[in-house]
Amino acid sequence: MNTEILISFCLAVFALALSPGPDNIFVLVQSIRFGKKYAFAVVAGLMTGCLVHTSLVAFGVSLLIAKNEMLFMLLKIFGAAYLFFLAYKVYRSSDQINFSAEEVEAKPLLKLFRQGLMMNVLNPKVSLFFLALFPGFLFSEDLNETLQFYVLGILFILVSFLVFGSIAFLAGSLKTYLEKHQHSGVFLKWMQIIVFIGIAIFILV
């Protein structure tokens, strides 16, 4: 088992979860306006959705590996290309962090959980992202591929939960800091670009 690959995976997930996006901004806003427990309801839904995507990738890609290693190699090339595309999209996007999601209403915790779950499960970009990311981080020649995908999925969920949970706890301070230091948006934008490109190169090499 290659622990260096797992550590690299966790660091990449940490950097990506930290980068501003609709999910963590929504968690931030819920925590600021209604309290931590509302934010954690959203986080729980988002993480449950990640488990669904992990299962789809685990069984689908494992079957692909079993049938044809050439197709699996083409899948990894597709994954790298998709990550380069995501890096380009981030490069073209604004480096300003906005809190436009603030126009939200307080909802029951179960409804927020469902909203987080559906935001994740019904987002085809998440499926593509998992499909692009996971195959390049298989870490063992002995373990079953399906099990490896689930290990990666659980690590993805744990690291993301740590980041999103921290956002929920530190929401007020984070919002104040980001509004006072607009240059932080530039840093986070380029961090995201570098991580996408780095993962893509890692997958190819």
Domains of the chain, by residue range, sit at: 3-204
Q: In residues, how long is the chain?
A: 205
- pLDDT of 173-199, one tens digit each? 877 777 777 777 788 788 888 888 988
Query: Which has more confidence, 66 or 148?
Result: 148
The pLDDT value recorded for residue 148 is: 92
Is the torsion defined by CA of 114, 36, 93, 84 positive or negative? negative
Answer whether 10's CB lies under 8 Å from 155's CB.
yes
Burial 76-108 (b: 16+ CB within 10 A, else e): beebbebbbebbeebeeeebebeeeeeeeeebe
Residue 35: left (phi > 0), alpha (psi -120 to 50), or beta?
left
CA angle 75, 152, 8 (to 5 degrees): 85
Contact between 88 and 13 (Cβ < 8 Å): no
Over the stretch 109-136, which tens digit does the pLDDT of each residue have? Answer: 899 999 899 988 888 778 888 888 888 8
Which pLDDT band holds residue 98 (cuts at 50, 70, 90)?
low
